[in-house]
Amino acid sequence: MECTVTLEADVLAAFPAEVQIPAQLVADAVAASSAKAPKILVVLDDDPTGTQSVADLAVLTRWEVKDFTWAFTHIRENQTKPAVYVLTNTRSLDAAEAAARNEEIVRNALAAAAGNGDGPRLSLGFVSRSDSTLRGHYPLEPDVIAATVAAETGEATDGVVIVPAFPDAGRVTIGGIHYMRGTGEDAGTLTPVAETEFAKDASFGFANSEMAKYVEEKSHGRFPAGDVIVLDLNTIRAGASAQDPTISAKAIADALEPATNSTPIVADIVTENDFRALALGLEEAERRGKKLLYRVGPPFVRGRIGQEIRAALTSEEAYAGNNPSTAGGLIVVGSHVGVTTRQLNSLTAEHSSARTIEIDVQKLIAGTETAGEAEADAYVQTVVSDVVDALRKGDVIVHTSRLLIKTDDPAASLKIARTVSAAVVAVVNRTLKTFPPRFVIAKGGITSSDVAAHGLEIRHAIVRGPMLPGIVSLWEPVDGPAKGIPYIVFAGNVGDDQSLTDVTRKLSATF
């Protein structure tokens, strides 16, 4: 099918200009609403790349009550912005597993908030953070969150606000349609996201770019497109002529008045000011009594809590407070989307001193099927030995073979992904405990999640900020064997062909 490409300027011509809104205005509104009962957003992140748009926030890879207690205490004692990320990794799970994990996390978060006896009782809001190209367990995850909140607190959800936009990475929503921006020679163009490679995902494919129709498609008609509330740019930017954000806030809150029983609400977003306008409107709607959940892409939380856009970290900032190792760095690439393969090719071409080691996926899967775990484990150990030897001399690039093994069965596709990810995790974990690297970069959502939680055994971390403007986050592990080693979470589908090279150059001692 031929792609429907249009010019962004032409699409935007039908709508008002953006309203200029300082981040502090949103932060003040959030603080005012939390004056009596401090409110914290708990972000259930279905892979770790959702942190790439925020800075100086706590991240959990485990979600026992004590983990939430640690995070809430960290927020209070350090006076950070009121949000904590929980790495659920549910995009790598089947529907039943994803539902059970969401329920457990929400229950434990609520229990920790209720048991926070040394300060005022906390109020929690819940964010289901997922993919800006619309892949993931929707509407399952917000459904489970809403049901769990209702069961635990008696509080019903009026609306689920769906905001997949990620302008930093070229994903915008205009006129209720979600687009991908063109790059290079195609800069200035928009392609409906259903016409991109992401819509063909084996597990989470979809057919509609118009968000209301996407909701109807994914809910199998439970939410008809006509019942979806669409906050287009006319509403988001209602105060444009007067440059008055209070006008937009009122217009947004007014539009949400009919929401009840988890009504889907989709929002246009093109700029950071649009996020801030939406945040003020959501604050006003909640002040009026609306109970909302959020299903969003990465930058929403930054706008919702009134956080300034953090400039990209410098090489010095990446190692601040730590003494970098003299060992080489470890770059682990698991994602198979086209941009990742191009980034890998660029890095291997330019970083000639780095050793490149491939994990042969066909050999790994064949070994598992024919001889059980023993043969696969022996193969993994040979990779570890090669990696450790190479790290003594410089940086090492470990990547899965680029031939993607496909299946039409979503469950089988996820099983293959998890088998490969388990091997990658084993390589990282054994390497860490044998010869710790200077830094670790993980490329790909499932890859970076599993490397964090299992490969590096990170339980608690602080996301310090982005390595590139608006994308690619650096985590500082605060416990476990990786403490002091910068960990870079790099989504598979972001950046240009040079981005992986640029991040590696910032961190490397030999590049």
197 Cβ contact partners less than 8 Å away, ≥ 6 residues apart = 337, 338
The pLDDT value given to residue 338: 85
pLDDT band at 381 (very low <50, low <70, confident <90, very high): very high
Distance (Å, whole) CA 424 – CA 435 = 16
- Mean pLDDT, residues 54-67: 96
Same fold, 6-305 and 317-507: no
pLDDT band at 383 (very low <50, low <70, confident <90, very high): very high
Q: What count of other Cβ atoms lies within 10 Å of the Cβ of residue 352?
A: 7
Which CATH architecture does the domain made up of 317-507 adopt?
A: 3-Layer(aba) Sandwich (3.40)
Distance (Å, whole) CA 139 – CA 132 = 15
Whether 406 shows a pLDDT value over 70: the answer reads no
263 Cβ contact partners less than 8 Å away, ≥ 6 residues apart = 158, 159, 160, 223, 227, 228, 229
226 Cβ contact partners less than 8 Å away, ≥ 6 residues apart = 212
Whether 275 shows a pLDDT value over 80: the answer reads yes
Distance (Å, whole) CA 380 – CA 386 = 10
pLDDT band at 447 (very low <50, low <70, confident <90, very high): confident
Distances (CA, A) of 193 to 5, 156, 180, 205, 256: 11, 32, 6, 11, 26
Give tens-digit pLDDT for 411-422.
766 677 777 878
Of residues 31 and 3, the one with the higher pLDDT is 31
Give tens-digit pLDDT for 322-341.
888 889 999 999 877 788 99
* Residue whose C-alpha is closest to residue 398's, from 418, 420, 367, 375: 420
What are the percentages of helix, strand and coil residues in the chain, rounded to 5? 45, 20, 35
Give tens-digit pLDDT for 476-510.
999 999 999 999 999 888 899 999 999 999 999 99
- Domain limits, the chain: 6-305, 317-507
The four Cα atoms 372, 377, 379, 381 give a dihedral, to 10 degrees, of: -170
Q: 503 by DSSP, 3-state: which?
A: helix
Distance (Å, whole) CA 467 – CA 310 = 10
Give tens-digit pLDDT for 22-55.
999 999 999 999 887 789 999 999 988 889 999 9
456: which 2 tokens? Answer: 């590096």
What are the two backbone dihedrals, phi and then psi, of residue 336, each rounded to the nearest 5 degrees? Answer: -115, 5
Q: What is the CA radius of gyration of the chain?
A: 22
- Mean pLDDT, residues 223-249: 97
The pLDDT value given to residue 49: 83
Q: What is the mean pLDDT of the chain?
A: 92
- Whether the Cβ atoms of residue 193 and residue 5 lie closer than 8 Å to each other: no
- Mean pLDDT, residues 81-102: 95
Distance (Å, whole) CA 40 – CA 371 = 49
Of residues 402 and 427, the one with the higher pLDDT is 427
Sequence letter at residue 197: E
Distance (Å, whole) CA 95 – CA 358 = 31
The pLDDT value given to residue 365: 75
pLDDT band at 472 (very low <50, low <70, confident <90, very high): very high
* Residue whose C-alpha is closest to residue 275's, from 145, 159, 132: 132
Label residues 81-108 b or e (16+ Cβ within 10 Å = b): bbbbbbbbbbbbbeeeebbebbbebbbb
Give tens-digit pLDDT for 190-200.
999 999 999 99
pLDDT band at 137 (very low <50, low <70, confident <90, very high): very high
By the 10 Å C-beta count (0-12 exposed, 13-18 middle, 19+ buried), 131 is classed as buried
Q: For the whole model, what pTM was predicted? A: 0.91
496: which 2 tokens? Answer: 């240009």
Label residues 213-233 b or e (16+ Cβ within 10 Å = b): bbbbbbbeeebebeebbbbbb
The pLDDT value given to residue 120: 59
Whether 1 shows a pLDDT value over 50: the answer reads no
Strands 440-443 and 355-359, by their bridges, are: unpaired
pLDDT band at 400 (very low <50, low <70, confident <90, very high): confident
Whether 403 shows a pLDDT value over 80: the answer reads no
Q: What percent of the chain has pLDDT over 90?
A: 78
Sequence letter at residue 61: T
95 Cβ contact partners less than 8 Å away, ≥ 6 residues apart = 137, 140
Whether 298 shows a pLDDT value over 80: the answer reads yes
- Mean pLDDT, residues 160-166: 98
Class of domain 6-305: alpha beta
Helix (H) or strand (E) holding 465: strand 460-468
274: which 2 tokens? Answer: 């649009």
Give tens-digit pLDDT for 337-372.
788 999 999 999 999 999 999 998 877 776 555 556
152 Cβ contact partners less than 8 Å away, ≥ 6 residues apart = 106, 107, 110
Polymer length in residues for the chain: 511
